[in-house]
Amino acid sequence: MKHLSIDIETFSSEPIPKTGLYKYVQSRDFEVLLFAYSLDSGPVEIVDLAQGEELPAWVAQALFDSDYVKHAYNAAFEWYCLSKFCGRPLPIEQWRDTMLHGLYCGLTAGLDATGKALNLPADKQKMSVGKALIRYFCVPCNPTKANGGRTRNYPKHDPEKWALFKQYCQGDVTTEMEIDRRLSAFPVPEAIEKQWQTDLRINARGVAVDMELVQGALEIAGKTHDRLMQEAIGITGLQNPNSIAQLAKWLEETTGETLPDLRKDTVEQMLKTQAVTGSAERMLEIRQELGKTSTKKYNAIEAAVCADGRVRGLLQFYGANRTGRWAGRLVQVQNLARTYIDLKYLPMAREAVKKRDGEKLKVLFGSPMDTLSQLIRTSFIAGDGNVLVDADFSSIEARVIAWLAGEEWVLEVFRTHGKIYEATASQMFGVPIEKIKKGNPEYALRQRGKVATLALGYQGGVGALIQMGALNMGIPEEDLQDIVYRWREANKRIVDLWYRVEKAAVATIQTGKQTGVNGLLFTREFDMANGLDYMTITLPSQRKLYYAFPSLGTNQWDRPSINYRGVNQTTKRWESLETYGGKLVENVVQAIARDCLALTIEKLEAAGFPIVFHVHDEVVIDCPVSMANLDAVVRIMTEPIPWAQGLPLNADGWVGEFFRKD
């Protein structure tokens, strides 16, 4: 096989961070400006397409030739741009993504950031002027007297910058090749490459959106916002009542009390406990209404929708690089607001929005902003003549952790009646499960079983219960520690798994020896020539989780702490992170659940069910009515996993014209 490493620079008037790759490329003024390439790690050549040069004939042919493996960083970009450039789709299976290689190996996204994480020499990192050059040549410019009123900069407008830009493009190819070379001892498995290719097809397929609903929602939201702002100005006399500083000062002066903050949960709690009344109460209600940021997703849909009414590029493969799970992009389908409106009334609510009838919406459903927030899911619809088939795994993390730990009573629950919250409460409090049903006083225990199941599986304590909403459920704070104790007593094998996993990780880091735990394999892997050091965990699927530059320290309880280099999810920086047994178990369980979903996606696609997007453990299929067989989809999703014998899976779903949450 021959290897062709590629980097391109492009122009489009569409702002790619908002519109996404697909609308960016579909713009009428889209253009490939530069094409840099290297064959088999040879010298990097550059083709100046913007100034009339053409690709060498062999390169143009190689883009379709299976004898050439094409490599690029964030290869989805190069693949789609060059498909447009060539006038037909390039074969996806011939492409490899250097960004995926880095993410698979526990590194961060971004060519420059990855280079720094690997300590590449300065001349092999992206040039610092790169972003400025992209702004100059790749996006429209503002017309001014100085630039003669033009809206775009061409090479002729600054030949020196253009020459530098060509060097920058060539430098990217060099960096990409160096990243692949340094990571060559830790290859991406073929199965993961195939999943990436399937993901690319799903993202390119996109999902249809109801633009009539979206535009109606934006109009109602705008009018509601203006009305609430006028009311707020009338109540407070403030110039900008949406300003946190101004509103906080007004509330303190009005109520005579110092407010801790004006965050969403604080405002909600104050209104719930009636800590304020009168005009102050109304202002907090307005604050709550104006804070419905989820309605901004309508703006995101409008910005990203392509000319054919579909939104593409909603998923980022390997977006969570601790587990390999997908992440959301553009509209962020991973965190859409829940829909509480009864299914039978949803068509009525949607129709009112389409007709821009905000008053009807308010009379029938209350808060317009809250209703619009709930309807965002329904913006995603089936294509013409089609329906959506939606199915998701039920309680998959609870199933996986029980399977991994060998917590037999939990597995038996999932093999039979599936009432895990009732069964957990029964185990915790020694109450027959038959008594934990509606109408009996023992039914109150179900709430405790539920919050314990959701919060405590990964070594969480009282804080985890509070974060999961135990106090809001009416559970007294003084009872929380008892719930933790009882849950751990009922799930001793899961508790044992935390400590065995932590012990295995510590031993592997300390001694370098392989350690096995319940089908997991902990290994210390080195590539001394390239300065790479990992602790890896091989999953039952044979996929590996990578923890870069592992070391041992001492935690606040004077016990060994496990440290590694990774992306801090809060700061988004590459830095030293600390982990422990429960957290490692969480990583592993979510990774196994992800592998179950990935395998299911491959099987559904092979069976002719075209997936348009998926959310956590849920798939959304857009297909003709004649193919909309929910039973067939569920049957595929619940087939035994070859590498997870004994894992009891279950799935359920619905068929309908628009996306919703049952």
Cβ atoms of 207 and 613 closer than 8 Å: yes
What 8-state DSSP symbol labels residue 658? B
Among 84-98, 253-267, 331-345, 551-565, the least confident range: 253-267
What 8-state DSSP symbol labels residue 639? S
Q: Is 518 left (phi over 0), alpha (psi -120 to 50) or beta?
A: left
Among 109-118, 151-160, 402-411, 485-494, the least confident range: 109-118
What is the rounded end-to-end Cα distance, in angstroms, of the chain?
49
pLDDT tens sequence across 377-419:
999 999 999 999 999 999 999 999 999 999 999 999 999 999 9
Here the contacts of 16-22 (C-beta below 8 Å, separation 24 or greater) are 18/300, 18/303, 18/304, 18/330, 19/303, 19/304, 20/304, 20/311, 20/312, 20/313, 20/329, 20/330, 21/76, 21/77, 21/80, 21/312, 21/313, 22/80, 22/203, 22/204, 22/206, 22/306, 22/312, 22/313
pLDDT tens sequence across 623-647:
999 999 999 999 999 999 999 999 9
Distance from chain centroid for Cα 619: 14
Mean pLDDT of 446-471: 95
Bridge partners of 585, per DSSP, are none
On the question of pLDDT at 126 being above 60, the answer is no
Residues 6+ apart with CB under 8 A from 275: 257, 269
Q: Is residue 658 very low, low, confident or very high in pLDDT (cuts 50, 70, 90)? A: very high
- Smallest Cα–Cα separation from 614: which of 341, 414, 319, 375? 319
On the question of pLDDT at 127 being above 80, the answer is no
- Smallest Cα–Cα separation from 79: which of 162, 206, 178, 199? 199
What 8-state DSSP symbol labels residue 303? H
Q: Rounded to whole angstroms, how far apart are CA atoms 254 and 5?
A: 65
Cβ atoms of 390 and 354 closer than 8 Å: no
pTM for this structure?
0.93
Tokens coding 80? 């789609």
pLDDT score for 508: 97
pLDDT tens sequence across 39-61:
999 999 999 999 999 999 999 99
On the question of pLDDT at 122 being above 80, the answer is no
Cβ atoms of 514 and 521 closer than 8 Å: yes
pLDDT score for 554: 86
Give the chain's mean pLDDT: 94
Just give the CATH number of 2-184.
Answer: 3.30.420.10
Q: How many other CB atoms are there within 10 angstroms of residue 553's CB atom? A: 11
Q: Is 309 left (phi over 0), alpha (psi -120 to 50) or beta?
A: left
Question: Phi, psi (5° rounding) for residue 311?
Answer: -105, 130
The domain segmentation of the chain, as residue ranges, is 2-184, 206-381, 408-490
Question: Phi, psi (5° rounding) for residue 35?
Answer: -130, 105
Q: Rounded to whole angstroms, how far apart are CA atoms 245 and 243?
A: 6
Percent of the chain predicted with pLDDT > 90: 82
Tokens coding 390? 């939606």
Q: Indicate the residue type of 604.
A: L
Mean pLDDT of 79-99: 98
Bridge partners of 578, per DSSP, are 563
Q: Indicate the residue type of 106.
A: G
pLDDT tens sequence across 278-290:
898 898 888 888 8
